[in-house]
Amino acid sequence: MLIKLSYLLLAGLTNGSVYGLIGLSLSIIYGSSRVINFAQGEFAMLGAMCAFFFMVSASLPWPLAMLAMIVVVVLAALALDYGIYRPLVRRRAAPLTIMIGTLAGAIILYGLAFVVWGPEQKFVPPVLSLEPLRIGFLITNSQQLSLIGLFIFFLMLTWYILYRTRFGLSVRATGVNPRTALLMGIRSERIVQFSFMFSAFISGVAGMMIGPLLGGNVGMGLLLTVKGFMAAIFGGLGSPFAAAAGGLAIGMMEALMAGYGTSLYAEPSIFVFILMVLIVRPYGLLGDYEAERR
């Protein structure tokens, strides 16, 4: 009984960390620009595919491959910022138009990746071992465990940047009211640019670590965007931490539902549950709390 529950909690934590990482990155961009970036999952896809390219095709050791991968995803984020976000904002486009712009960006990134890597599944080499690892009575592997560690690390890093630095204060101020922030001397375009780059960095690293477990393919971004978006909506879109908590909650619900209920209906049941929560709390589970904190 305890063994089963422990396995379920570990699985929930692992899957929840993946959803939470994408939700966190989505929310960082939303927090500064009020735009949902539909290309977020594509950054994770680029992370996985670049890991394959630099580690397998270019035979680089993983630290170098990770550096090279970060350069690629950050460049992709800059392209999204300069090519889609800024031109639309400067033409006073509505947020919905900018969101459709990011969707177009996602399709372009997918198309470019398709041309480079083709439609086949790629074996992304693990950074850590995939061999069974025993922790007490639980058996898992280091690569899977690293996702939980990565989630905690990025959560703390984001908290530190946002709440313990003057720069973080500027980011939050831009999110609340970009015009007022601009009048106070904060260059909001730069802040949004940072949030694009930082969230691409988180998603890229997440993609590199997820790739060996999910298998790398150019179509994986959409699934991750959907899960990250669910996490962000469920937790509360305005706050990166609420989105991260939403991801964990979804992961846990999936695991417990699969373990004790019926796994066939786990996904629809969770969607229904999220919908019910949103009817009661339209800003997500922790949305109000974060609104007050601001």
* Alpha-carbon radius of gyration of the chain: 19
Q: Is 277 in the site for another protein (CB under 8 A)?
A: no
SS3 170: helix
* Separation CA 145–CA 206 (nearest Å): 13
Contact flags string 237-266 toward another protein, x per CB under 8 A: -----------------xx--xx---xx-x
Segment 14 to 33, residues that bind another protein, using CB under 8 A: 14-15, 18
Judged by CB, which is closer to another protein: 10, or 35?
Answer: 10
The alpha helices in 177-239, defined as continuous H runs, are 178-183, 188-214, 220-235
Nearer CB in complex with another protein: 50/173: 50
User: Residue 219 has what DSSP assignment?
Assistant: T
Work out the end-to-end distance of the chain between its first and last CA atoms, rounded to an integer number of angstroms: 43
Q: Binding to another protein by residue 40, rule CB under 8 A? A: no
Interface pattern 105-144 for another protein (x via CB under 8 A): --------------xxx-x------x-x------xxx--x
Out of 26, 49, 70, 147, the residue judged to bind another protein by CB under 8 A: 147
CB of 14 to another protein, least distance (A): 4
Residue 176 Ramachandran class (φ > 0 left, ψ -120 to 50 alpha, else beta) = alpha
Q: What is the sign, positive or negative, of the torsion defined by CA atoms of 58, 64, 66, 69?
A: negative
- Does position 8 bind another protein by CB under 8 A? yes
Q: Residues near 208 by Cβ (< 8 Å), separated by ≥ 6?
A: 47, 48, 50, 51, 65, 66, 69, 124, 127
Q: Could you say which of 97, 129, 267, 276 contacts another protein (CB under 8 A)?
A: 267
* Residues contacting another protein: total by CB under 8 A: 36
Tokens of 22: 């994408």
Select 182 or 222, whichever has its Cβ closest to another protein: 222
Binding site for another protein (CB under 8 A): 4, 7-8, 10-11, 14-15, 18, 119-121, 123, 130, 132, 139-141, 144, 147, 210, 213-215, 217, 223-224, 226-227, 254-255, 258-259, 263-264, 266-267
